[in-house]
């Protein structure tokens, strides 16, 4: 059954993406930094919680290369580290000495080593310990930090072999990695083979019998291929780019829907770029625009977005015009101010649909305004996903978090950015990417993501079907005052204009109770995983406003985001079982007495 233990990774594997916050009170306690919660947080969402492997690596590097009073932060390239250094210096109120060190691991010595050894370079930023929060801000907002798998590899390559004096040119031991891999594959295979409430969500103390291991060995081979082989990382990335742009490798038995969801006849996988996180793709889109614009200007954030999208636009470059309601009246205001010359913008960023209110912007009208007033359009399609919606014709760049439903398994961070070949800005953008883009997506993460995403189409379709059943259940409940979902939204017409022929309305649902105390009772009672993230193969719930905006609850109310909003991301469980779990929790909430 789902773990209700604070701080447990979801799922219970070394590189999990989510973490358990099982009650409303625990979520508040986490946001307020209360020890009874924070002391138990041994894991967390990777952009907010630096993985223990990376923390350990940082301490080793500080010990060997740091100066007195310094701390460090590790990035996957020297260029990214320099961006972090610039951010720290710009945002600090005092003059600082911030150093950048580049470290590299050995390349494979022979053909045999290519399966387990890869040459890797990191950029390490050293700074005074008291400005660590600034460095952490960059890590969180940019999404450009190293992954836990990369940290694990770098640590072994630079320190473990060295400490054991194995050879003058240290080679990483892979025993620990293979052990972690075996555990992850076992959990993953059980989750996908038996996606019920009880079987797809494992407890923190789960055990796998020898019989289960033998039973799933064949499944693992058929579903995932052999264990990770680093020499195939390049091929894995090519497969991912093709999958994202709709040119599917039929040898992987993709569903017909996947083949139909082509991004466009002229789109090539060479216009698809991979990133270490979805936020990194949004950050880089903004970074590119700042650098290709003759004169960088403010951007518009259209609609209430995920928190760090707005932070990127606020903290990097000239600033942001925030049109948080993201409705037709907001577009009227934008058009009027552009026409009068009161507003001159570099770009418009939006989510399609938005997280957590599931609003869909009028992309056709936005595109017309962009062409008329010469600004870029960047669309984050994560919540909709490209099997359900086709936004590329209306955007110059399309970003997505592949961490979510594209992967599903909650065990790898990744992002993508797609350039629209029909964009009037395409040549300028492409030239910049050709000159400056770095592939920072770690090889092992690419191999995991390629395997995870092979059944993306099948999973997406099932999630869409179960989500609509869930919405109908919530709509019928007398306790619920409002349900947010693209199919029943006031902006449904704009979603339908971009919906693919075989697409659905996604797996994300938000809802409000008429009585706040019933929201708390429901959330505390519901027997599901509870924590950050979305798009996982298991249903995942959170009190969204509390988790993402606790310090600004009054402010977000201006944009119709209620402090008691609950968000659920639907998974692959049996629909009847999931609906039963939700109904039982609604019954508990109904019986909860109101207290002063």
- Digit-coded pLDDT (tens) for 214-224: 443 333 434 44
Residues 446 and 234: their CA atoms lie apart, in Å, by 9
In 3D space, the residue among 335, 299, 310 whose CA is nearest the CA of residue 555 turns out to be 310
Domain edge (last residue) among 387, 419, 454: 454
User: Based on the domain organization, do 285 and 428 belong to the same domain?
Assistant: yes
CA terminus-to-terminus distance, the chain: 33
User: Based on the domain organization, do 498 and 388 belong to the same domain?
Assistant: no
C-beta separation of 19 from 8 below 8 A: yes
Residue 264 confidence (pLDDT):
55
Residue 265 confidence (pLDDT):
58
Q: Is residue 335 part of a domain?
A: yes
Residues 537 and 525: their CA atoms lie apart, in Å, by 21
Q: Which domain holds residue 473?
A: 457-591
Residue 127 confidence (pLDDT):
98
Q: Is residue 409 part of a domain?
A: yes
313's tokens? 């636009």
User: Based on the domain organization, do 440 and 482 belong to the same domain?
Assistant: no
C-beta separation of 484 from 356 below 8 A: yes
Instruction: Give the total residue count for the chain.
Output: 596
CB within 8 A of 275, min separation 6: which ones? 143, 281, 284, 414, 415, 416, 417, 440, 441
Q: Is residue 107 part of a domain?
A: no
| CATH number of the domain where residue 342 is located | 3.40.640.10
User: Based on the domain organization, do 251 and 367 belong to the same domain?
Assistant: yes
Residue 64 confidence (pLDDT):
97
What is the H or E stretch that residue 525 is in?
helix 516-525
Q: What share of the chain is helix, strand, coil (3-state, %, to 5)?
A: 50, 15, 40
C-beta separation of 349 from 286 below 8 A: yes
Residues 301 and 314: their CA atoms lie apart, in Å, by 10
Residue 175 confidence (pLDDT):
40
Task: Give the chain's domain count.
Answer: 2
User: Based on the domain organization, do 279 and 420 belong to the same domain?
Assistant: yes
Q: What are the φ/ψ torsions at residue 210 (nearest 5 degrees)?
A: -60, -35
Q: Is residue 214 part of a domain?
A: no
332's tokens? 């009227």
User: Based on the domain organization, do 469 and 440 belong to the same domain?
Assistant: no
User: Based on the domain organization, do 449 and 475 belong to the same domain?
Assistant: no
Q: Is residue 503 part of a domain?
A: yes
- Chain CA centroid to CA 532, Å: 10
The per-residue pLDDT string of the chain (596 residues; one tens digit each, 9 = 90 and over) reads 788 999 999 999 999 999 999 999 999 999 999 999 999 998 899 999 999 999 999 999 999 999 999 999 999 999 999 999 999 999 998 899 999 999 999 999 999 999 999 999 999 999 999 999 999 999 999 999 999 999 999 999 999 865 443 333 333 333 444 444 545 555 555 455 444 443 333 333 333 444 443 443 333 434 444 447 999 999 999 999 999 998 544 333 444 444 444 455 568 899 999 999 999 999 999 999 999 998 999 999 999 999 999 999 999 999 999 999 999 999 999 999 999 999 999 999 999 999 999 999 999 999 999 999 999 999 999 999 999 999 999 999 999 999 999 999 999 999 999 999 999 999 999 999 999 999 999 999 999 999 999 999 999 999 999 999 999 999 999 999 999 999 999 999 999 999 999 999 999 999 999 999 999 999 999 999 999 999 999 999 999 999 999 999 999 999 999 999 999 999 999 999 999 999 999 999 999 998 86
Residues 277 and 400: their CA atoms lie apart, in Å, by 9
| Residue listed under structure tokens 């219970």 | 12
| CATH number of the domain where residue 488 is located | 3.90.1150.10
Residues 372 and 115: their CA atoms lie apart, in Å, by 52
Q: Is residue 467 part of a domain?
A: yes
Residues 360 and 565: their CA atoms lie apart, in Å, by 19
210's tokens? 């020898």
């Amino acid at each position: 059954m789902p773990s209700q233990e604070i701080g447990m990774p979801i799922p219970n594997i070394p590189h999990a993406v989510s973490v358990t916050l099982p009650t409303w009170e625990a979520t508040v306690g986490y946001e307020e930094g209360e020890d009874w919660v924070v002391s138990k947080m041994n894991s967390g969402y990777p952009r907010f919680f630096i993985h223990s492997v990376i923390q350990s690596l940082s301490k080793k590097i500080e010990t060997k290369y740091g100066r007195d009073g310094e701390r460090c932060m590790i990035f996957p390239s020297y260029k990214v580290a320099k961006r972090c250094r610039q951010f720290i210096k710009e945002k600090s109120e005092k003059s600082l000495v911030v150093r950048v060190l580049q470290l590299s691991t050995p390349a494979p010595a022979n053909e045999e080593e290519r399966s387990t050894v890869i040459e890797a370079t990191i950029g390490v930023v050293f700074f005074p310990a008291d400005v660590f929060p600034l460095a952490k801000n960059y890590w969180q907002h940019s999404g450009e930090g190293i992954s836990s798998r990369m940290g694990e590899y770098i640590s072994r390559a630079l320190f473990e072999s060295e400490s054991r004096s194995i050879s003058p040119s240290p080679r990483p031991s892979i025993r620990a990695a293979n052990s972690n891999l075996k555990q992850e594959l076992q959990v993953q295979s059980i989750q996908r083979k038996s996606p019920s409430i009880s079987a797809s969500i494992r407890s923190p103390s789960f055990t796998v019998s020898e019989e289960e291991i033998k039973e799933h060995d064949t499944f693992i081979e058929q579903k995932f291929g052999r264990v990770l082989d680093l020499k195939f990382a390049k091929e894995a990335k090519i497969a991912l780019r093709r999958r994202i742009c709709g040119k599917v490798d039929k040898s992987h038995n993709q569903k017909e829907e996947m083949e139909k969801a082509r991004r466009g006849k002229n789109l090539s996988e060479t216009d698809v770029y991979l990133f270490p996180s979805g936020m990194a793709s949004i950050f880089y889109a903004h970074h590119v625009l700042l650098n290709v614009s003759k004169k960088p200007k403010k951007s518009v954030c259209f609609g209430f977005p995920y928190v760090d999208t707005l932070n990127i636009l606020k903290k990097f470059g000239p600033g942001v015009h925030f049109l948080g309601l993201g409705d037709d009246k907001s577009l009227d205001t934008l058009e009027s101010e552009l026409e009068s010359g009161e507003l001159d913008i570099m770009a418009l960023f939006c989510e399609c649909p938005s997280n957590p209110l599931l609003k869909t912007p009028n992309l056709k009208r936005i595109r017309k305004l962009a062409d008329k007033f010469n600004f870029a359009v960047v669309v984050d399609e994560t919540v909709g996903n490209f099997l359900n919606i086709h936004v590329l014709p209306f955007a110059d760049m399309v970003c997505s978090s592949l961490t979510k439903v594209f992967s599903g398994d909650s065990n790898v961070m990744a992002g993508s950015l797609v350039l629209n070949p029909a964009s009037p800005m395409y040549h300028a953008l492409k030239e910049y990417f050709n000159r400056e883009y770095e592939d920072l997506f770690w090889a092992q993460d690419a191999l995991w993501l390629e395997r995870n995403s092979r059944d993306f189409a099948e999973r997406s379709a099932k999630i869409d079907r179960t989500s609509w059943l869930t919405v109908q259940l919530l709509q019928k409940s007398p306790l619920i005052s409002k349900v947010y979902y693209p199919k029943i939204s006031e902006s449904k017409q704009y979603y339908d204009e971009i919906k693919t022929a075989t697409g659905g309305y996604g797996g994300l649902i938000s809802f409000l109770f008429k009585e706040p105390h019933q929201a708390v009772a429901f959330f505390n009672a519901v027997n599901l995983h509870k924590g950050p993230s979305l798009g996982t193969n298991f249903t995942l719930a959170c009190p969204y406003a509390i988790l993402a905006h606790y310090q600004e609850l009054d402010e977000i109310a201006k944009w119709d985001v209620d402090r008691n909003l609950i968000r659920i991301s639907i998974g692959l469980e049996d629909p009847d079982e999931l609906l039963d779990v939700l109904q039982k929790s609604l019954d508990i909430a109904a019986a909860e007495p109101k207290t002063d």
